[in-house]
Amino acid sequence: MPNTSTTTKKKKTSERGNQLEQFFMDAVRDLYWAEKNLTKALPKMQKAATSPELQSAIEEHIAQTEEHVARLEEVFKLMGYSAQAKKCDAMDGLIKEGESIVEETEDGSFTRDVGIIAASQKSGTL
Residue 7 makes CB contacts below 8 A (sequence gap 6+) with: none
Q: Say how many C-beta atoms besides its own lie within 10 A of residue 60's C-beta.
A: 11
In a domain, 89, yes or no: yes
- Counting the structural domains of the chain, the total is 1
| Residue 8: inside a domain | no
Residue-range definition of the domain harbouring residue 87:
18-123
Residue 75 lies in a domain: yes
* 51 compared with 5, residue with greater pLDDT: 51
Predicted pLDDT of residue 126 = 74
Within a domain: 116: yes
Q: Which of 118, 93, 94, 92 shows the shortest CA–CA distance to 105?
A: 118
Whole-structure pTM value: 0.82
The CATH number assigned to the domain holding 89 equals 1.20.1260.10
Dmax (CA) for the chain in angstroms is 79
Top-ranked range on mean pLDDT: pick from 9-23, 41-55, 110-124: 41-55
pLDDT at 14 over 90: no
